[in-house]
Chains A and B, each alone.
Chain A
Amino acid sequence: MSAQLQPASNTEAPADIVPQSEKPLGPWRLTWNKFKRNPFAMSGLVVLFLFIVAAVAAPWLSPYDPARQDLLSANLRPFTGDHVLGTDELGRDIFSRIVYSGRISLTIGFAVAAVAVIIGSIIGAISGYFGGWADIIFMRIVDVMNSVPTLFLNILIGAIFGTNFLLMIMILSLTSWMGVARLVRGNFLQLREMQYVEAAKSIGVSSWGIIFRHLLRNASFPIIVNATLMVGGAILAESGLSYLGLGIQPPDTSWGMMLSNAQEFMLIDPMQAVYPGVCIFLVVLSVNFIGDGIRDAMDPRQKAQLSPRRLDQWRAKFSKSTK
């Protein structure tokens, strides 16, 4: 709209008398500017980026095939030969396994968050916008799914349908969309009463047009925050299931699977349990920091982040100087 108005105002007032106003920053740019200033969120972003690079470059980074067994060089200490982190009881190179596990864990984390957000948004949008029977049915389904502990639900579905890589993504997303659905529904209940919705309706925009073009975009901030935090949850859930032997199956490998292996051989090499755990911890911590950072950056009420103590110091200084 501003692009249409600007030429008209330019002809009336020359640019040197009234300085042309800068184009205001968009909401995404504003969010990024605030996000940049959050040290926790930025360090999370850096760490996560390193893990993603390692996962993408796994074939070049890892000196060995992660599934290659070599019983002659089993249980090597770290830094023997080119086994940076040593080998496990079957002589598999631990560093290579960590890198390849990262591929699987990260893919599952992001894929599950994406699929769950899509399912949850669609169901939440239908419930919130149309209401009525669709709402009642969907919300009862949410109630039912929420009533069974998620871990049990994951195990149950996994035990019935089996667990390979793609099934794991499907199972985990099928058991984690409920939060998003509730969130989107709640947002839609508010947003559908807005005047722009009424305006869109009056010029004949279809219901789906309103949902996708107007409402989902307006509800996107909380959805994004929720999706980010869900990545960490999915990685933790995957590692738990794989630890129990009900997740990723060999020859694939994941951090959770490595941990269950490490527990068996704890007496021989306790350090084996440390590496995969630290990886899970770092990735989930970074994702959570990023999620919190995005939430803080997107919250319009939080203009400046000052701790009350800093604020008090500042006030004290200010009142002294005015005296």
Chain B
Amino acid sequence: MGEYLIRRTLQSVVVLFLISVFTFGLIHAAPGGPTQIFLSPGLSVEAGQIKAEQLGLNDPLPQQYFRWLGNILTGDLGATFKNNIPVGDILWPTVKNSVILMSVTWILTLLIAIPWGVYNSTKEYGLSDQTASFISYVGFAMPTFWFGIILQSTISIKLDWLPLSDMYTIGKQGDIPDLLMHMVLPVSVLTLISLAGYQKYMRSSMLEVLQQDYIRTARAKGVKENKVVFRHAWRNALIPLITLIGLDLPMLVGGAALTEKVFNWPGMGSLFVDMAMAREYSVLMAITLLSAVFVVIGNLIADILYAAVDPRVQLGKGGK
């Protein structure tokens, strides 16, 4: 276990390093190089060259890369080109907003999906099971942002029940009830989209566990069906779900970008979109790298938890 942990962590570091090279290379592969994009078109050629010299854009690429990497590792994410604002000052508040939105969504999703999946596995092809599979087809085929727009036009505009967009009403910053009101629509969109997948996964995991020998043994010795499901099957069926949760951690950050944009939620995803429009590459690089860190850590946590929860899993032995 210890050896595996070390090897796995080293692997993650290597992947992160490659991602930083990849991101950096991508920006510098742009036609005309970063100088062309970074500088505003109104600038004269001489002024442009002076600015490029200041930013160190004329240095050899490896030197630029290691300077950038060194800065990132010491917590300096660079500054925006337009107003020279430190990237961290823009980025961290949006990360916080995204985490608020996503954690509520996630908890809600799991709270609904797990019991529902368990129930559906005991009543296969029943009404509730059919409904769930219908929702999952709809959820996979419907553009998230379209669902958001439809909710906005019905619930916010026609019925006027909930606020249309943003995180707070103007002048009510930090007001918790106001925040909750603003959260209802984006959270329900995101929950409905991810609900189907989790439910389906939980259900199939349960179905597999219910076929195991120890379940038959438990039933044979006369354990009540409720107890079989909740004491014996349920806990074991949760294990594969842990992997899914770890793997989905980043998808939620990235996948929320569209929803954040629809509801004008000041999160990391909508910041990324805005900055892509404004061509602020230092911010884009920082967010790409940060989300990659999320992914790699998510995978690592999933692997470790998987072994910690299930003693039968022997990491690093056999398998691949």
Contact = CB atoms under 8 A, between A and B. Distances in A.
Given A148-B291, A273-B146, A155 B273 contact: yes
Contact of B29 (A155, A160, A270): A160
Contact of B141 (A150, A151, A270, A281): A281
Contacts of B137: 285, 288-289
Interface in A117-147: 140, 143-144, 146-147
A244 B279 CA distance: 15
Nearest to A267: B157
A266 B149 contact: yes
A157 B124 CA distance: 45
Closest 10 CB pairs between A and B? Answer: A149-B254, A277-B146, A285-B141, A284-B141, A270-B153, A159-B276, A147-B295, A160-B30, A147-B292, A155-B276
Contacts of B255: 149, 151
Interface of B: 14-15, 18-19, 22-23, 26-27, 29-31, 37, 124-125, 137-138, 140-146, 149-150, 152-154, 157-158, 250-251, 253-255, 257-258, 261-262, 269, 272-273, 276-277, 279, 284, 287-288, 291-292, 295-296
Given A148-B19, A152-B288, A243 B141 contact: no
Given A240-B143, A256-B143, 8 more contacts: A149-B250, A151-B255, A152-B257, A267-B157, A280-B143, A281-B138, A284-B140, A288-B141
A161 B279 CA distance: 12
Nearest to B287: A152
A239 interface: yes
B10 to A, nearest CB: 13
8 contacts: A140-B15, A143-B15, A143-B18, A151-B255, A243-B258, A270-B154, A273-B150, A288-B140
Interface residues of A, number: 46
Interface of A: 140, 143-144, 146-153, 155-161, 232, 236, 239-240, 243-246, 256, 259, 262-263, 266-267, 270, 273-274, 276-277, 280-281, 284-285, 288-289, 307-309
A158 B296 contact: no
A127 to B, nearest CB: 13
B294 to A, nearest CB: 9
Nearest to A160: B30
